[in-house]
Chains A and B, each alone.
Chain A
């Protein structure tokens, strides 16, 4: 322990440049460090782009916050929030009972149904019977992983968990998976890409609000009410003044906010 303490001091000394100081009112926004089109993906210049990035910029401008995007591994994004590596999560994270035990959420800012896709020519339905004997892929730590466990755990041949959604899609295209369960909007983007030409939507799964939650919200630390109030006010403001609609039009031809 003494050694670790010593090391901590040395680390602090060696990398003073790495510290950004606590005076600047900087808010570190955690995004999943993976391509997740059309919401958040890195582009060839190293910048993050997508609908959710524009959403974040809009609420940060509205709430006058100095937001910095901080990519974090998806399966460690909640620990990163609680250990204060980041201050909020803008990562298409659905508001669920389970997550509310550990972190807090803002009001919802969009909503997506849950879909299942599979190879063209392989006809099945997005039901427990339809998936019997299939190999289903999901991303870890998602509502889909929980949902698949509960509803398809018995019937599916195997449920494989991947670290990123992009790799789930890739393995479906490679034929290692028979089906993929994920957010329908993100799946739609994949199906429209070249790599998604192999596959088609088999349907949306039956809703289970306890697992699938009630829309996507900004993940926040428990007790960080000041930030939560600011974010909620900003979401309401950009919804009211048309900013939300304006940047959403660039990506979707339907109302992503949902009912």
Chain B
């Protein structure tokens, strides 16, 4: 019975070789980069998409509707496989079209793109709902003061929708952190994949999978704390629960 190759051989987690702790931390950092980048890109798409859906022309609105419906109806795993290969091809085809040289797109850029496109569909819906929840009088008041559309967006719409958007957006952040694990399937060296490699190399499957689980869980719990703070801040000046 090889008991020390089992669960309790914590030496395997040491930060420097022969321990795999350093590799796991590097994978965790890659996961974080993916989640932050993908989430940010998703937010940008979400803001643009929400405004497009609310104020855009009929064709733009229909196209956005197709985008959000398709993305939300197809499993993330399938989207990641499709976009991971097609995304790179599309960017390069586009660059060739406008006369620029092809570029090498790193796995990280492709991963952020994939997570961003998926997140964008969900944040479009969240932000659209939040903007709709702003009492229309506030926006009309801004207009009657003669604010330009951009100023209205910056000083009224965005701050006023935040309290409505934050629960949905924080949920999306938690989803983003977990969706990064799916990139293991295309061979991107994030936490889940390096865990699988470490587990396979050492045969200490339980130990490494549990360790990675603790790392993800810590990220979630810390995120929850931060979210609670942000939520409290964003709700200043709003009476009672929204």
Binding site for B on A (CB under 8 A): 1-8, 10-12, 14-15, 18-22, 26, 28, 32-35, 41-46, 70-74, 76, 79-80, 83-85, 163-164, 166-167, 170, 194-195
Contacts and interface: CB of A to CB of B under 8 A. Distances in A.
8 contacts: A3-B63, A8-B87, A8-B90, A15-B106, A44-B201, A76-B85, A164-B200, A170-B200
A67 to B, nearest CB: 14
B159 interface: no
A140 to B, nearest CB: 12
A11 B41 CA distance: 7
A44 B23 contact: yes
B88 interface: yes
Interface of B: 2, 5, 16-20, 22-23, 26, 37, 40-41, 44-45, 48-49, 60, 63-64, 67, 81, 84-92, 94, 101-110, 112-113, 116-117, 120, 185-187, 189, 193-194, 196-198, 200-201, 203, 205
A229 to B, nearest CB: 22
A72 B110 CA distance: 13
Contacts of B104: 19-22, 26, 28, 84
Contacts of A5: 90, 94
A44 B116 contact: no
A2 B127 CA distance: 19
**Chain B interface SS verdict (over half):** helix
B41 A10 contact: yes
A13 to B, nearest CB: 9
A71 B187 contact: yes
A35 B94 CA distance: 36
A33 to B, nearest CB: 4
Given A3-B120, A8-B94, A167-B200, A19 B63 contact: no
Contacts of B194: 42, 46
Contact of B109 (A4, A19, A21, A44): A19
A70 B117 CA distance: 24
B2 A2 contact: no
A14 B112 contact: yes
A45 B103 contact: no
A209 to B, nearest CB: 30
Contact of A34 (B90, B197, B205): B197
A76 B81 contact: yes
